[in-house]
Chains A and B, each alone.
Chain A
Amino acid sequence: MPEPVLSIKNIEAGYTPSLPILRGVSLDVFEGEIVTILGPNGAGKSTLIKAIAGLVKISSGTVSLEGRDITGLATHELIRERVAYVPQSENVFARLSVEENLALGTLHNPTQHASQRRRVLDLFPDLEHLGHLAAGKLSGGQRQMVAVGRALMAAPKLLMVDEPSAGLSPKLAQVVFAQLVQVKQTGVTILMVEQNARAALQISDRGYVMAEGQEKVHGAAASLLENPEVGALYLGAKSRMARS
């Protein structure tokens, strides 16, 4: 078994120490995979990704990157470890131009700015002609491209994306998912949180289903699509597994 790019072991985390939202979550993400975290509202999906990003305090458990313990690493240091994170909302600097947004992605690898920019524009050619515009003037889909594009400028080995289809039309969501597949094909490992379960699992290798701050089911994406318990968790009902 190869060593995972990202390995999370039994983490507990929350906004207040006495009230953990995550209660013993573990997951592994292997190189070249798209792994999706699914679950109903309040399951702790976004909290998990924020905990990895250092935005929510981890009270116990470990986060390892290629075998190195990075638990509690400051948020601004994560990018040096080549882990990029695209939040669900307010994920672009609206007053800065598209080019300025992209430039902020190469703060720690400025010599690679030109090559990374080319790579990002090859992935998102629509951005080529929007460079001078303030990111806040763009449509939802274009903003998502800028957000993912800026994260890719850092040449990450792991890209964490929180609900990339949120607020987008189904058609646009499909475009965003197709772009994430393209990103994966460039060798970037992706950990995604998504509400749009079916569409997300269709592009994923594996998935984890969370409920009530715990991981309930995990497995290959195809098997999760067939799993009736996954649907049950999505409807907010307690699954047989959760009760057991």
Chain B
Amino acid sequence: MIQFVADGIVNAALIALGAIGLSMTYNILRFANFAQGEILTIGAYFTLLVLGVLGFGIGAMGPVAFGWPLLASIVVAVGTTSIIVLIVDWLLFRQLRDKNASRITFIMAAFGVSLMGRNLITLVAGGEPKYFDFYIPKTFELLPGMKVRPDDLAIVAIAVIAFIILFAFMNRTSMGRQMRAVAENPTLARINGIDVRAVIRWTWIIGASLATIAGALLAHNTQLRPEMGFDMLLPMFAALILGGANNLYGTILGAIVVGLTEALAVYVGLSGYRAAVTFLVMIAFLMVRPQGILGEKE
């Protein structure tokens, strides 16, 4: 029974890494970015590309089946994915902002980017699954009845480090404060001299960076497919809404609930229905607390 907790936490770490970007675009750019899944996918494929160029495989760190080559590839992929995302913003979303487009226009534009991104990845990289490297996963018993892989612990550790850096950035740096200010009141932020365009650039960079990490770690755990990010979109949105759309800590809590629920559904033999089970839990919770776990009533 306790095994689902281990599986759920790893799942939650990956969902949370992807959902943070969703939360930030929702709060700062004020639209639901349906292309967030493709950012995750592009990040994973860029990581594969860099791994191929380096030619060292994924390396190893003691019992963990990946090492510096994968980590270095992720760092490079974070940079390239961020550049791609900033170009898309400059070409598309900036134009819509300048024309005061409605939220639904932004959402439909994001849908378009999502579709184009997925098709482009299929066109360039092919539709068949790909792998970073072949390795034999080893497990050990962390607690009685709970087996984990060292890689799972490493994935959770990377996610936790990423969240600590993120929250330190948001709370201790001037740009972090500016981002929180724009999320709360964009007009007052402008009155204060905050350059909203710079805040928007940072929003995309942070969201793309965390999504790239999520995509690369998910690909390491499973496989690369053009649909891998799209398949994560619903759990990421569920985490965002369940946690409280205007609270980053809430998004992480929401991801934990979604990750555990999905793992529990698999554990009890409802693998094919895990998305439905997750959404049932989410709807039941939101009927009691519509603003989500840590969200504020609007």
Q: Which A residues lie at the B interface, using CB under 8 A?
A: 53, 55, 74-80, 85, 87, 90-96, 100, 103-105, 107-108, 110, 150, 154
Contact = CB atoms under 8 A, between A and B. Distances in A.
A150 B181 CA distance: 13
Interface string B163-188: 00000000000100110110011011
Contacts of B288: none
B196 interface: yes
A87 B186 CA distance: 13
Contact of A87 (B174, B181, B191, B193): B191
Nearest to A77: B193
A-B pairs, 4 with minimum CB distance: A79-B193, A75-B190, A76-B190, A93-B181
B196 to A, nearest CB: 7
B193 A76 contact: yes
B71 interface: no
Contact of A105 (B184, B185, B189, B192): B192
Contacts of B192: 76, 79, 104-105, 107, 150
21 contacts: A53-B191, A55-B187, A74-B190, A75-B187, A75-B190, A76-B193, A77-B193, A79-B193, A87-B187, A87-B188, A90-B185, A91-B188, A93-B188, A95-B184, A100-B177, A103-B174, A103-B177, A104-B177, A107-B178, A107-B193, A154-B193
Nearest to B197: A76
A203 to B, nearest CB: 23
Contact of A85 (B189, B191, B194): B191
A104 B181 contact: yes
Contacts of A108: 193
Contacts of A110: 174
Given A93-B180, A95-B180, A96-B177, A104 B194 contact: yes
Interface of B is mostly: helix
Nearest to A54: B190
A93 B178 CA distance: 10
B231 interface: no
A96 B194 CA distance: 15
Nearest to B182: A93
Contacts of B189: 76
Given A80-B193, A104-B178, A107-B178, 12 more contacts: A76-B189, A76-B192, A76-B193, A78-B191, A90-B185, A90-B187, A93-B184, A93-B188, A104-B181, A104-B192, A107-B193, A150-B192
B195 interface: yes
Contacts of A92: 188
A198 B177 CA distance: 39
Contacts of A95: 180, 184
A138 B191 CA distance: 21
Contacts of B180: 93, 95-96, 100
Contacts of B185: 90, 93
Contacts, number: 62
B170 to A, nearest CB: 11
Nearest to A86: B191
Contacts of A91: 188
B174 A107 contact: yes
A63 to B, nearest CB: 16
A96 B190 contact: no
Chain A CB count within 10 A is highest, among B193, B194, B196, for: B193
Nearest to A147: B188
Nearest to A55: B187
A53 B177 CA distance: 22
Contacts of B181: 93, 96, 104
B194 A107 contact: yes
A154 B192 CA distance: 9
Contacts of B184: 93-96
B72 to A, nearest CB: 34
B193 A90 contact: no
Nearest to B180: A96
A53 B187 CA distance: 11
A74 B195 CA distance: 10
Interface in B131-181: 174, 177-178, 180-181
A53 B181 CA distance: 18
A51 to B, nearest CB: 13
A75 to B, nearest CB: 4
Nearest to A90: B185
Nearest to A81: B193
Interface string B181-224: 10011011111111110000000000000000000000000000
A53 to B, nearest CB: 6
A244 B193 CA distance: 43
Nearest to A74: B190
Contacts of A79: 191-193
Given A93-B181, A103-B177, A76 B188 contact: no
A75 B191 contact: yes
B172 to A, nearest CB: 10
Chain B CB count within 10 A is highest, among A53, A76, A77, for: A76
